[in-house]
């Protein structure tokens, strides 16, 4: 593990819905996330939320464990560094407008000097 990065953990949490929708992920991994959500929403906790700052420590520890345990899987669903397929977005569109150009077929590269003539 390369250390704890809050930004990376937030990206992993945002990747959870994509992981849950993927049919290739084992049901045990999905069940871990679902049980974590249920525990977060249930009024029964190991430490009652009445003890305000301390009451949420058990929820936080549980989710830190879940995200750390599923870290490698969630990193596969993180789209932060990935460039998507932009071919559909720019298909049949003029990317450069109002430009006139001519194709000159007489241009040759001089093999010895590497210069274009």
Rg of the chain over all Cα atoms, to the nearest angstrom = 26
**Which of helix, strand or coil describes residue 66?**
helix
Which H helix or E strand runs over 3?
A: none
Q: Which residue has the higher pLDDT, 82 or 63?
A: 63
**Which of helix, strand or coil describes residue 29?**
helix
Is residue 43 classed exposed, middle or buried when 0-12, 13-18 and 19+ CB atoms within 10 A define those classes? Answer: exposed
Tens of pLDDT, residues 22-58: 989 999 999 999 998 888 888 777 777 677 777 778 8
**The length of the chain, given as a count of residues:** 117
CB 36 within 8 A of CB 20: no
Q: Does pTM surpass 0.85?
A: no
What residues does each domain of the chain span?
Answer: 6-82
Tens of pLDDT, residues 83-117: 555 566 666 666 667 777 676 666 665 555 556 55
Mean pLDDT of 65-69: 91
φ/ψ of 100, rounded to 5, equals: -105, 135
- In the chain the beta strands, taken as DSSP E runs, fall at none
pLDDT tier at 1, thresholds 50, 70, 90: very low
């Amino acid at each position: 593990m390369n250390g704890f990065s809050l930004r990376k953990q937030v990206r992993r949490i945002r990747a959870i819905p994509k992981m849950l929708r993927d049919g290739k992920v084992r049901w045990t991994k999905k069940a871990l996330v679902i049980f974590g959500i249920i525990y977060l929403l249930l009024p029964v906790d190991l430490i009652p939320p009445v003890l305000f700052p301390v009451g949420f420590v058990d929820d936080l520890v549980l989710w830190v464990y879940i995200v750390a345990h599923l870290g490698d899987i969630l990193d596969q669903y993180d789209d932060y560094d990935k460039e998507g397929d932009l071919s559909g977005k720019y298909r049949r569109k003029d990317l450069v407008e109002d430009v006139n150009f001519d194709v000159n077929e007489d241009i040759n590269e001089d093999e010895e000097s590497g210069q274009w003539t």
